[in-house]
Amino acid sequence: MKQEMLINVTQAEECRIAIIEDGQLEELYVERTSQENFVGNIYKGRVVNIEPSIQAAFVDFGVGRNGFLHISDIEPQYYRQGGLDPDKAFELTEPGKSSGDSDSGRSADRRRKPRIGDRPRVKPPIQDVLKRGDEVLVQVIKEGFGTKGPTLSTYISIPGRYLVLMPPLGRVGVSKKIDNERERRLLRDIMQTLQPPKGVGFVVRTAGTERTKSEMARDMAYLLRLWKSIVRRMRKYSAPIDIYQESDMIIRTIRDMFTEDVGRILIDDPAAYERAREFLELVMPKYASRLQLYEGKEPLFYRYRLEEEISRINQRKVPLKGGGSIVIDTTEALVAIDVNSGSFRSEKSAEENAYQMNLIAAKEIARQLRLRDLGGVIVNDFIDMRREKYRRGVEKALHDAMKRDRARTKVLRTSPFGLIEMTRQRIRPSLRKSIFRDCPTCDGTGIVKTAESMAIEVMRMLQLSATREDIAQLTVTVHDEVATWINNRKRREIAQFEDASHVQLHIVGQDTASPEHLAIEARDSNGRGVRFP
């Protein structure tokens, strides 16, 4: 498995990062300077409104839009100590051993005493926890969509290279994605020997597997210094104020996505290259040599034939190997994906053909969800299969293909209608919403009325005008094609209208008008404008 990370920042307004595997585009990240990105940032905010009906608070955190804070995202210390207490926000006592897992189970929760950071089984009403004017330390966990503001949480998490600092979790955990029990025990032992301070918690990331004790210690020391500076800033300033901002996308992607499988990182901008080099030498000096400055004359993404593939990302139909295809339709609430066999054929039975086509589609669906950054409810309509063995096989293929996705996903079993429903975490607007806007002609529907339909609509308006005695002249402006249709196909009706109503009619065609454009100007016998309709 050969991977390369390509970073294109030659355009100051946009940064693009592509991860290719064996020559195929697997992941794409795009960020523009014109689009504000708050996810991961930490703020000290002030509660401006409480909504008991939805058990949520709206928080002013200084960006011009209030954030949404639900009761489920409020850390227990807020109602254990009566709100945010800066003096208790960071308690570094004598080093002590911490143990446990991020997924230790209910039995372990029953054995130990409750700690700060534990989520209680029953939460009190939000009106008993917060009131207007309260200050809260919040982190943005999801960008706002449309009229909705960003989603906030008081469960702060600060990622490092191998660890995630989660104050005040109070214990050491291991990522659920590390499923090797021997590796989990080894990581817990390493963390216990490092003796993290009491009052803070750490979770070992998947990148922490096979790391040495010194590497983990260096990452822990960096995160502790960062958290101390955050607490100092939190105590010094009143809300609303920004406390901590996430790294830029280049540093963030290298930190989160770089693995030993990435053989090379290519950057086409010298300034960005220097920033990335300093980060790698500080955090991962062992891999700093894999970073290279691209100095070719041909643009980086063209050199790797990515521009054409990126341009196809937002096409509705995606061709598959062997002749099949998948069709992706997005709505406000869900994504519908339909698998078509097309010209895919083999010498095997129809059931076997459907199974093989579905296996290919499952892998491509996972890839397209990553590339397009689609989220919410996703319904996959695979080709019908009767055998239970084949249905389970497609489910497993989709599960396996989704494992490399960093977003949280949940895949259900095949429904009686042959559908596989799933959800994918939506953190920020999809790539489509970031790059494109709704068509001003069709308003995002993708269809417009035909010339015949518009001509019929014009004739209906003329019938309405015949009932008005104050109208002596009408000028109808439409698209050229509509005007041609009316003047050729409706010539007799227009003549009858003018004779019967004594109204002078002018049909004006404009080639620059939209297909649904319809403007009617009415005047009386003295040439003065009349309101119509």
**For residue range 442-480, what is the model confidence (pLDDT) as tens digits?**
877 788 999 999 999 999 999 888 888 889 999 999 999
Which CATH number among 3.40.50.970, 3.40.1260.20, 3.40.50.720, 1.20.1440.230 corresponds to the domain 451-530? 3.40.1260.20
For residues 138 and 46, give the distance between their C-alpha atoms in angstroms, rounded to a whole number.
10
The domain 3-36+250-308 is placed in CATH, from the list 3.30.420.60, 3.40.50.300, 3.40.50.1000, 3.10.180.10, at 3.30.420.60
Helix runs in 343-430, H state only? 350-372, 388-402
CATH class of 42-245: mainly beta
Task: Report yes or no: 452 and 485 within 8 Å, Cβ to Cβ.
Answer: yes
Q: ω into residue 533 within 30 of 0, thus cis?
A: yes
All structural domains of the chain with their residue ranges: 3-36+250-308, 42-245, 316-435, 451-530
Instruction: Report the SS3 class of residue 343.
Output: coil
Which residues fall within 8 angstroms of residue 307, CB to CB, at 6 or more apart?
Answer: 299, 301
* Residue 103 confidence (pLDDT): 43
d(CA 1, CA 239): 49
- Report helix, strand or coil for 487: helix
CB contact at 8 A, 45 and 62: yes
pTM of the shown model: 0.73
What's the distance, CA 239 to chain centroid?
Answer: 28
Q: Is 70 helix (H, G, I), strand (E, B) or coil?
A: strand
The residues, ordered by sequence, that sit 6+ positions from 510 with a Cβ below 8 Å of its Cβ are 477, 478, 479, 480, 517
- Residue whose tokens read 């946009």: 14
Please write down the long-range contacts of 34-37, taking CB distance under 8 Å and 24 or more positions apart. Answer: 35/434, 36/63, 37/143, 37/246, 37/428
How many CB atoms are located within 10 Å of the residue 329 CB?
Answer: 12
Report CA dihedral (267, 271, 276, 281) to the nearest 10 degrees.
120
Closest to 242 in 3D by CA, of 108, 121, 150: 150
Q: Residue 15: what pLDDT?
A: 87
Report angle CA 65, 68, 69 to the nearest 5 degrees: 140
Q: What pLDDT was estimated at residue 80?
A: 52
11: CB partners within 8 A, 6+ apart: none
Burial group, residue 357, by CB count within 10 angstroms (0-12, 13-18, 19+): buried
Residue numbers of the chain with a pLDDT score lower than 70: 1, 78-122, 146, 168, 344-347, 427-430
